[in-house]
């Protein structure tokens, strides 16, 4: 769900204040940098798993047990990297199918829903 213009402006103001107050901390938790790194790390892990899988198949020609173990570990690394890629992204996995209407209709009252409701009430009182 995209932010409204007012919410985006408030978020930008908070970000600017954070950079002014503590620039070292702000650069260390730069979210956009983390978002760019995850797909790269997931791709590298996938390639590593693929190499391990192939090496395991080749090694199974001489040492069956070692080859099978290396192949299985390589496969698990590949599955884990796909999981990192899919579920590590904003809006990835099941969070992409969840909308505010669905959560309210289902009767779930998560912490983020309560915080969002409090924020909206405060904004309505001030405005």
Asked whether residue 8 is domain-assigned, the answer is no
Mark whether 64 and 18 lie in a shared domain.
yes
Q: Which residues contact 76 (CB under 8 A, 6 or more apart)?
A: 49
Domain containing residue 69? 13-88
Mark whether 81 and 126 lie in a shared domain.
no
List the chain pLDDT tens, one digit each, 127 residues.
Answer: 677 888 888 888 887 887 788 777 766 666 566 567 788 899 999 999 999 999 999 999 999 999 999 999 999 999 999 998 888 765 554 444 444 554 444 455 677 787 888 888 887 877 6
Q: Which two three-digit tokens encode residue 22?
A: 């503590």
Contact 70, 42 (CB under 8 A): no
How many independent structural domains does the chain possess?
2
Contact 75, 51 (CB under 8 A): no
Mark whether 32 and 77 lie in a shared domain.
yes
Contact 45, 31 (CB under 8 A): no
Average pLDDT, the chain: 78
């Amino acid at each position: 769900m995209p932010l409204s213009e007012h919410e985006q402006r408030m978020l930008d103001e908070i970000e600017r204040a954070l950079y002014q107050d503590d620039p070292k901390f702000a650069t260390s938790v730069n979210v956009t940098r983390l978002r760019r790194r995850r797909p790269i790390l997931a791709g590298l892990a996938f390639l590593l798993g693929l190499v391990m899988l192939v090496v395991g198949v080749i090694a199974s020609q001489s040492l069956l047990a070692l080859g099978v173990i290396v192949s299985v570990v390589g496969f698990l690394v590949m599955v884990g990297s796909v999981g990192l890629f899919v579920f590590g992204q904003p809006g990835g996995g099941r969070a992409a199918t969840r909308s505010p209407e669905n959560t309210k209709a289902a009767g779930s009252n998560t912490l983020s829903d309560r915080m969002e409701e409090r924020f909206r009430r405060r904004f309505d009182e001030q405005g």
